[in-house]
């Protein structure tokens, strides 16, 4: 698949480009970011935020690299707001990892809603108008246009968008979350699902987010001023209780002397840390699970970004390993990996830990097939996640208190 992303937007799915963008943004990550980060000035003018999320989501660049680059330019106190935003992504991943039933419930609800769309013509019409950007709400329709054309939205716009979707258009939040996951280059299962739940009043019980006209006017610098048409009420949606916590994942011992292969997924495209842990590593295979994000069509821009990112990672892996397979995609990827493992005489595969989401759903199917051949797939947890996720037991503000401790645990300089 060719890369059809508008290069003028700068969405080049390469690690080197992500690092360049990081270094360019780092000087602005202190007081300037804290003051201006909420301003959404429109496509091509997101200069007050990092726009690094597509690279971080796929771990083309790492959270610790981002924080380290910022702390090299600012004190922890000066950059605390930006560092907290980096950790929101980590927190959401940890929160969902400890409560995977929330993801399963969301996916099951989408199946139910798919059937409802078939039999309820009114619901389908309102959903199609929302996804088509023809609601008549100027700001909302403009954000639909930006999202579908660029694969990106400012975080503040995402909050306004979700609030309007839920409380003004009165559409199911799950359909909105699915729309985002199909179109965002940085579509992250945890951040996306749980942020939509938060706006709806499901994540923090009783706490919703209401899109207000004066707030939109202020932070878009009057690009939009929806003086009428927005709901003035945001009552929390009903929903099941949050499930009980499960034990956070941790690393375990494994035989590093037997023939071993590396499985690389689109969820972690910086697998170098695995190479040092697996001296018997002989070969690598990469898989794409983008098709598993939704039962509906995922944006070609998302496919293009993921394909480019996988190709970039494959090129980097070939500097360390001679045997790097072609990229396996979609439903055929599972059989390809099993056959590739057998043909190369590998007795186990190792992979950077895949967090809850579509890729993990695909990997579970792969584990079953590999197991039938007597081959084990061993996940390796990054120290960043191992230090962070156990603290995602309550709300973010309790988690936030642990950030200096987490940074010290991963040997981050300037962490306090």
Quote the pTM value: 0.95
Q: Using alpha carbons, select from 90, 54, 86 the residue that is nearest to residue 309.
A: 54
Q: Which of 26-40, 318-332, 348-362, 384-398 is least confident?
A: 318-332
Q: Per-residue b/e over 162-186, b at no fewer than 16 CB within 10 Å?
A: bbbbbbbbebbbbbbbbbbbbbbbb
Cα 188 from chain centroid (whole Å)? 2
pLDDT at 1: 30
Interior/surface letters 136-148, b for 16+ CB within 10 angstroms, e for the rest: ebebbbbbbebbb
Q: Answer for the pair 271, 313: CB distance below 8 angstroms, yes or no.
A: yes
Could you report the per-residue pLDDT of 154-212, keeping only the tens digit for each? 999 999 999 999 999 999 999 999 999 999 999 999 999 999 999 999 999 889 999 99
Residue 38: its pLDDT value, please? 98
Residues in the chain: 416
| Residue 49: half-sphere exposure toward Cβ, Cα within 13 Å | 22
| pLDDT tens-digit series, residues 55-103 | 999 999 999 999 999 999 999 999 999 999 999 999 999 999 999 999 9
Q: Is the pLDDT of residue 3 over 50?
A: no
CB 140 within 8 A of CB 211: no
249: left (phi over 0), alpha (psi -120 to 50) or beta: beta
Distance CA 186, CA 153 (A): 10
Look at residue 7 and tell me whether its pLDDT is greater than 60: no
Write down the pLDDT at residue 205: 86
Rounded to the nearest integer, the mean pLDDT of the chain is 94
Whether the predicted pLDDT of 46 surpasses 50: yes
Residue 229, Cβ neighbours under 10 Å: how many? 14
Higher pLDDT pick, 6 / 370: 370
Rounded Cα distance, 267 and 278, in Å: 20
Residue 303 contacts residue 290 (beta carbons within 8 Å): yes
pLDDT number for residue 415: 64
Q: Helices 121-131 & 101-119, crossing angle to 10 degrees?
A: 110
Instruction: Tell me if 248 sits within 8 A of 393, measured CB to CB.
Output: no
Tell which wins on pLDDT, 292 or 413: 292
Enumerate domains of the chain plus CATH numbers. 9-97+387-409 (1.25.40.80), 112-219 (1.10.579.10), 260-380 (3.40.50.620)
pLDDT tier at 330 (50, 70, 90 boundaries)?
A: confident
Per residue in 214-226, pLDDT (tens digit) is: 999 999 999 999 9
> From CA 99, how far away is CA 80, in angstroms rounded?
27
Q: Taking 80 as the threshold, does the pLDDT of residue 2 lie above it?
A: no
Higher pLDDT, 72 or 279: 72
Separation CA 305–CA 310 (nearest Å): 9
pLDDT value, residue 362: 96
Q: How much is the average pLDDT of 114-142?
A: 98
Output the pLDDT for position 30.
98
Q: Answer for the pair 285, 342: CB distance below 8 angstroms, yes or no.
A: no
The pLDDT tens digits of the residues spanning 163-173 come to: 999 999 999 99
């Amino acid at each position: 698949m060719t890369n059809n992303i508008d290069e003028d937007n700068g969405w080049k799915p390469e690690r080197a480009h992500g690092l360049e963008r990081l270094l360019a943004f780092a000087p602005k990550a202190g007081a300037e970011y804290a003051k201006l980060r909420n301003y959404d000035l429109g496509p091509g003018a997101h200069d007050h935020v990092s726009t690094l999320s597509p690279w971080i989501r796929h771990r083309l660049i790492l959270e610790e690299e981002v924080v380290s680059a910022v702390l090299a330019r600012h004190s922890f106190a000066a950059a605390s707001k930006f560092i907290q935003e980096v950790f929101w992504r980590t927190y959401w991943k940890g929160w969902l990892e400890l409560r995977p039933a929330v993801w399963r419930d969301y996916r099951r609800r989408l199946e139910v809603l798919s059937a409802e769309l078939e039999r309820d013509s009114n619901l389908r019409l309102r959903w199609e108008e929302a996804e088509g950007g023809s609601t008549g709400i100027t700001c909302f329709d403009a954000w639909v246009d930006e999202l579908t054309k660029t694969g990106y939205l400012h975080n503040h716009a995402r909050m306004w968008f979700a609030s309007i979707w839920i409380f003004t258009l009165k559409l199911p939040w799950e359909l909105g979350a699915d729309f985002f996951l199909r179109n965002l280059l940085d579509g992250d299962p945890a951040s996306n699902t749980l942020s939509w739940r938060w706006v709806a009043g499901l994540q923090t019980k009783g706490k919703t987010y209401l899109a207000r006209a004066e707030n939109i006017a202020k932070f878009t610098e009057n690009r939009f001023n929806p003086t009428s048409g927005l709901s003035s009420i945001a009552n929390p949606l009903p929903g099941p209780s949050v499930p009980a916590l499960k034990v956070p994942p941790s690393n375990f011992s494994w035989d590093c002397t037997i023939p071993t292969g590396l499985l690389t997924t689109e969820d972690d495209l910086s697998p170098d840390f695995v190479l040092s842990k697996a001296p018997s590593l002989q070969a690598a295979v990469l898989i794409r699970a983008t098709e598993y994000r939704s039962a509906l069509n995922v944006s070609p821009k998302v496919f293009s970004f993921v394909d480019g990112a996988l190709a970039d990672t494959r090129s980097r892996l070939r500097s360390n390993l001679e045997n790097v397979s072609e990229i396996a995609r979609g439903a055929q990827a599972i059989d390809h990996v099993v056959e590739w493992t057998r043909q190369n005489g590998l007795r186990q595969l190792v992979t950077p830990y895949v967090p809850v989401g579509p890729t993990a759903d695909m990997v579970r199917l792969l584990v079953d097939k590999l197991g039938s051949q007597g081959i084990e797939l061993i996940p390796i947890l990054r120290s960043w996640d191992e230090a962070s996720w156990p603290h995602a037991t309550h709300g973010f503000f309790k988690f936030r208190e642990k950030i200096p401790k987490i940074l010290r645990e991963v040997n981050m300089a300037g962490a306090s």
